[in-house]
Each structure stands twice: as C-alpha cells, then as structure tokens.
C-alpha cells in the first residue's frame, strides 16, 4: 500500500528541487544542483550538492537526498527530479543513478529532458541489493 498521490505534481516537486539548488555549495564547479523526490508515504525529500576543497570529495545533491530519506524514516522513492543552476531539468550522474536504484528500484520515475522515464531505462541491467542475496 502506498500513500503517494495518483496524480503527481511534478511542478511542485521541481519547485522543491529549485529551492534546494539555491542552497547548494558549489564554489569549485560553479554548477549548483538541486534534487527532490516523493516517498511512498507522501513525504518529499530533497538535497543540494556540497563540494569540498579536496575536489574528489564533493557530494552530489542525491547524497543529501538519500541521507534525508533515511534520517526522516526511510521508505521508497517513487518520483524524482533534478535541476541545474538555471532550473532546467537535469539527468542524475551515473553514480547517483545507483544511489537512486538502492532506494527507489527499477520503477522509480524520473523527470528527464526526454520526459518521465523509469529508472530501469536510465540504469539498464542494474546491479542491486538482489544480487547480494542470490544463491
Ligand atoms: N552533480 C550533482 O549534484 N548531481 C548530479 O547528478 C550531477 C552532478 C554535481 C556534482 C558537482 O558538485 C557538480 O554537479 C558538477 O559536476
């Protein structure tokens, strides 16, 4: 059973991502990113990228999002959007697709420049938690 609404307000979700993007700490790349997702209990979680003087240690916006998801009670991500510094819809990077797979699975819906797509199309043949429990 899910408490997520049948009709998802992508515009509202994008607004939350934009707000998160405005809080990004991206002095090195100059490329702020914001993300937001709907959880299967109706919560909305969000995140922004947080960079570091040790460049490779920068945190993508999705890291903040999954951290908030877990901290505020867990659950499954059902709908996800990502925006750049100009509030344009952005695709999540490869590593973050894996993060999203862990907490949303193949049916997670992503807003992309090519429309609404399931994660199974953005990360085909994904390696995931199921592989670790296979005999
Ligand atoms: N970035 C994200 O936060 N999420 C993505 O999915 C794409 C890339 C950030 C990482 C870095 O701070 C900046 O964008 C430039 O790569």
| Pocket lining: 62 vs ligand 1, CB cutoff 6 Å | yes
Task: Determine the pLDDT at residue 5.
Answer: 58
The closest residue, in CA terms, to atom 3 on ligand 1 is 60
Is pTM beyond 0.85 here? yes
Closest CA to 34 of 120, 96, 115: 96
For 37-89, what is each residue's pLDDT tens digit?
999 999 999 999 999 999 999 999 999 999 999 999 999 999 999 999 999 99
14, pLDDT greater than 80: yes
Would you please indicate which residues are annotated as catalytic (active-site) residues?
62
Task: Determine the pLDDT at residue 134.
Answer: 81
For 115-132, what is each residue's pLDDT tens digit?
999 999 999 999 999 999
Task: Determine the pLDDT at residue 1.
Answer: 47
92, pLDDT greater than 60: yes
Ligand 1 mean position to 84 CA, how many Å? Answer: 9
Q: What is the secondary structure of the chain as a DSSP string? A: ---S-SS--HHHHHHHHHHHHTT-B-TTT----EEEEEETTS-EEEEE-B--SSGGG-B-HHHHHHHHHHHTT---EEEEEEE-TTS-B-PPPHHHHHHHHHHH-TT-EEEETTEEEEHHHHSTT---HHHHH--
């Amino acid at each position: 059973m899910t408490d997520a609404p049948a009709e998802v307000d992508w515009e509202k979700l994008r607004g939350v991502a934009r707000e998160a993007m405005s809080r990004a700490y991206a002095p090195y790349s100059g490329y702020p990113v914001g993300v937001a997702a709907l959880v299967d209990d109706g919560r909305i979680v969000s995140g922004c990228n947080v960079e570091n003087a040790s460049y490779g240690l920068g945190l993508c916006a999705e890291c903040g999002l999954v951290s908030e998801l877990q901290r505020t009670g867990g659950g499954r991500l059902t709908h996800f959007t990502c925006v750049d510094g100009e509030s344009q819809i952005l695709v999540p990077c490869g590593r973050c697709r894996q993060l999203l797979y862990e907490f949303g699975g193949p049916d997670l819906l992503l807003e992309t420049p090519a429309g609404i797509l399931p994660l199974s199309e953005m990360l085909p043949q994904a390696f995931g938690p199921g592989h670790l429990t296979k005999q």
